[in-house]
């Protein structure tokens, strides 16, 4: 086994690419990055690493058994971090099939291939190997205003095809630890934001639309609440769990930063008013438009991150105020990246999702 080699799946997506950059910046790691490059995966996110010999990019599908087994045999990783997923709730509503295929069948295939690889390792290597599965707080369902935040023991109650498929994969991970002893770790994180997020999710969509001076669509009345975490804080949490988390355990990760969607959108508008004022001095907030709600829209998510804080000493370094400022600045200074990812099929998704809501 190569003690510094990590197999990262989905490392060309939003969080995965941020994680790959973190891994390669902070220590001697070698990252084998397996990504299918779906609409959400973008090799541009990794362009700066093209000359880095410690980054090996492989285009492929986690649901392909022979390819995954061959990759494990060839690179002999000491850890696997599974980000690969279909990740957008609205897309899971209009087309759930891909979510079952990648999030359930793909995760199962990855676990099955990993178990076989792990069983064949020498005893000392088996003891240090880890399989870390990256999941979401959405598996816990929806909270009312007065409910306590999700803990690791909150019963699962997924409400969307996305969260149901992630819940299924979490259960498979749990079963592979319980039944076969595979040293797994699961992290359930709240909503992330930051560089390289595809502009179909709320924060980059609003920045992108505002700069084009088109409607900023808010589902329902805008009072749904999410607990926002800056992406580099999530990456640091995953590295902490990988290094010191106890096999078989689940760790909740959150920003302790609950905001209504309307608050988030108004904050973005006021930052843009300062950094990129509109001609005539109108506020970007005048573009806010309430549109038909998402079917089954979860009311509120909130994470209790006491376990990871107390066991591993992790806490977020960014506040929402500092993180959102950095994020808006990043999108302003990466217009070419945005242009690149919003050409092609992006326009037809916008029509599918928003055409019927107007």
159 near ligand TYD, judged by CB under 6 A: no
Q: How far is CA 136 from the centre of its chain?
A: 8
Phi/psi at 332 (5° precision): -65, -35
Query: Kind of pairing, strands 192-193 and 258-260?
Result: unpaired
Which residues are annotated as catalytic? 137-138, 162
202 binds, among ligand TYD, ligand NAD, none (CB under 5 to 8 A by kind): ligand TYD
Q: Nearest approach, Cβ of 63 to ligand NAD (angstroms)?
A: 5
Q: Nearest approach, Cβ of 93 to ligand TYD (angstroms)?
A: 10
12 near ligand NAD, judged by CB under 6 A: yes
Contact with ligand TYD (CB under 6 A): which of 201, 208, 266, 307? 201
What CA–CA distances, in Å, run from 266 to 200, 230, 260, 293, 299? Answer: 18, 18, 10, 19, 19
Contact with ligand NAD (CB under 6 A): which of 166, 208, 300, 307? 166
Contact with ligand TYD (CB under 6 A): which of 205, 207, 241, 303? 205
218 near ligand TYD, judged by CB under 6 A: yes
Q: How far is CA 198 from the centre of its chain?
A: 11
Q: Which residues are paired to 186 by β-bridges?
A: 133, 250
126 binds, among ligand NAD, ligand TYD, none (CB under 5 to 8 A by kind): none
16 near ligand NAD, judged by CB under 6 A: yes
Here's the x/- map for ligand TYD, 97-126, by CB under 6 A: it reads as ------------------------------
In whole angstroms, give the CA distance from residue 233 to residue 87.
Answer: 19
Contact with ligand TYD (CB under 6 A): which of 17, 159, 186, 224? 224
Q: Nearest approach, Cβ of 70 to ligand NAD (angstroms)?
A: 15
89 near ligand TYD, judged by CB under 6 A: yes
261 near ligand TYD, judged by CB under 6 A: yes
| DSSP codes joined into one string, 233-301 | HHHHHHHHHHHHPPTT-EEEE--S-EEEHHHHHHHHHHHHHHHSPPGGG--GGGGEEEEPPPTT---B-
Q: Of the listed pieces 20-28, 147-155, 214-222, 237-245, which binds ligand TYD according to CB under 6 A?
A: 214-222
Q: Where are the beta strands (DSSP E) in the chain?
A: 2-9, 30-35, 55-59, 77-82, 130-136, 184-189, 192-193, 216-219, 225-227, 229-230, 250-253, 258-260, 288-291
State which residue, 71 or 85, has the beta carbon closest to ligand TYD: 85
63 near ligand NAD, judged by CB under 6 A: yes
Helices (H) and strands (E) in the chain, counts: 14, 13
Contact with ligand NAD (CB under 6 A): which of 6, 29, 35, 109? 35
What CA–CA distances, in Å, run from 157 to 87, 143, 320? Answer: 17, 11, 27
CB neighbourhood size of 267 (10 A): 18
DSSP SS3 for 318: coil
Exposed, middle or buried by CB within 10 Å (0-12, 13-18, 19+), for 358? Answer: exposed
205 binds, among ligand NAD, ligand TYD, none (CB under 5 to 8 A by kind): ligand TYD
194 binds, among ligand NAD, ligand TYD, none (CB under 5 to 8 A by kind): none
- Name the residues that contact ligand NAD, by CB under 6 A: 9-10, 12-16, 34-38, 40-41, 61-63, 83-85, 87, 102, 106, 134, 136, 166, 189, 191-192, 198
Where along the sequence are the contacts to ligand TYD (CB under 6 A)? Answer: 89, 191, 201-202, 205, 217-219, 224, 226, 261, 294
């Amino acid at each position: 086994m190569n003690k510094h080699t990590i197999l990262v799946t989905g490392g060309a997506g939003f969080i995965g690419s941020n994680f790959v950059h973190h891994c390669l910046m902070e220590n001697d790691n070698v990252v084998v990055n397996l990504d299918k490059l779906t609409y959400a995966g973008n090799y541009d996110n990794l362009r700066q690493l093209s000359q880095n010999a410690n980054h090996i990019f492989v285009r492929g599908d986690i649901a392909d058994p022979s390819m995954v087994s061959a990759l494990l045999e060839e690179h002999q990783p000491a850890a696997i971090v599974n980000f690969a997923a279909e990740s957008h709730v609205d897309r899971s509503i209009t087309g759930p099939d891909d979510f079952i295929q990648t999030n359930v069948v793909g995760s199962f295939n990855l676990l099955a291939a990993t178990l076989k690889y792990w069983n064949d390792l020498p005893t000392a290597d088996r003891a240090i190997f880890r399989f870390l599965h990256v999941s979401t707080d959405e598996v816990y369902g929806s909270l009312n205003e007065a409910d306590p935040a999700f803990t690791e023991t909150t019963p699962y109650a997924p409400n969307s095809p996305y969260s149901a498929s992630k819940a299924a994969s979490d259960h498979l991970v749990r079963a592979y630890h319980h039944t076969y002893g595979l040293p797994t770790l699961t992290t359930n994180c709240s909503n992330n934001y930051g560089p390289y997020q595809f502009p179909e999710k709320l924060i980059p969509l609003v920045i992108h639309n505002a700069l084009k001076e088109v409607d900023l669509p808010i589902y329902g009345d805008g009072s749904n609440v999410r607990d926002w975490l800056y992406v580099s804080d999530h990456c640091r949490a995953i590295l902490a769990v990988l290094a010191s988390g106890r096999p078989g355990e689940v760790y909740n990760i959150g920003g302790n930063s609950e905001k209504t969607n309307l608050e988030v959108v108004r904050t973005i508008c006021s930052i843009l008013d300062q950094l990129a004022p509109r001609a005539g001095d109108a506020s970007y907030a005048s573009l806010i438009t309430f549109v038909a709600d998402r079917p089954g829209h979860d009311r509120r998510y909130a994470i209790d991150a006491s376990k990871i804080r107390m066991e591993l000493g992790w806490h977020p370094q960014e506040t929402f105020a500092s993180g959102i400022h950095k994020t808006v600045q990043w999108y302003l200074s990466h217009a070419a990246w945005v242009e690149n990812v919003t050409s092609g099929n992006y326009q037809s998704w916008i029509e599918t999702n928003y055409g019927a809501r107007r």
